[in-house]
Amino acid sequence: MRALVQRVSEAAVRVDGAVVGQTGPGLLILVCAMQGDDAPRAEALANKIARLRIFPDAAGKMNLSLTDMGGGALVISQFTLAADTSRGNRPGFSTAAAPDMGRALYEHFTDHLAATGIPTARGVFGADMKVALVNDGPVTIWLET
């Protein structure tokens, strides 16, 4: 699985003009299931993100995890993280998991992250979403399992 993790002061996602998920201080997580991914990979990625030390401690050093600082997460499905731009100017997405598997792994990832004790909101799989965020730092990290 792939994820683009952004440390945020706040983030929200809208579908058809209505807010369907939001978080205050914490993480906006864009996640993509790839061909060959499975539930253990989704769980490993969720565990890694929950423990990723990218929040400042009292000295201002990135030393705290999302769990340590008590923040929340907004998880958005993002199949375009599978983009292959190696040929031509139009990205290909053939390495992304099929939609039914992508949905199942997105849900599994999000449920597992929530089970770690992190307040977790989500977008709507496959919907046309409008995502707003205030990137804190900015801190943006690419992860892959």
Q: Respond yes or no: is residue 23 known to be catalytic.
A: no
- Catalytic residue chosen out of the listed positions 6, 55, 79, 109: 79
Catalytic, out of 6, 23, 55, 78: 78
Of the candidates 125, 86, 130, the one whose C-alpha atom is nearest the C-alpha of residue 109 is 125
What single-letter amino acid sits at 99?
P
Q: Which one-letter amino acid corresponds to residue 64?
A: L
Give me the torsion for CA of 133, 77, 42, 134, rounded to 10°.
Answer: 0
Closest CA to 144 of 65, 27, 41, 52: 41
**C-alpha separations of 33 from 7, 11, 13, 107, 138 in Å:** 21, 22, 20, 11, 25
Catalytic (active site) residue 6? no
Q: Is 79 a catalytic residue?
A: yes
- Residue 108's alpha-carbon distances to 24, 34, 64, in angstroms, are 23, 14, 25
**Catalytic positions, please?**
78-80
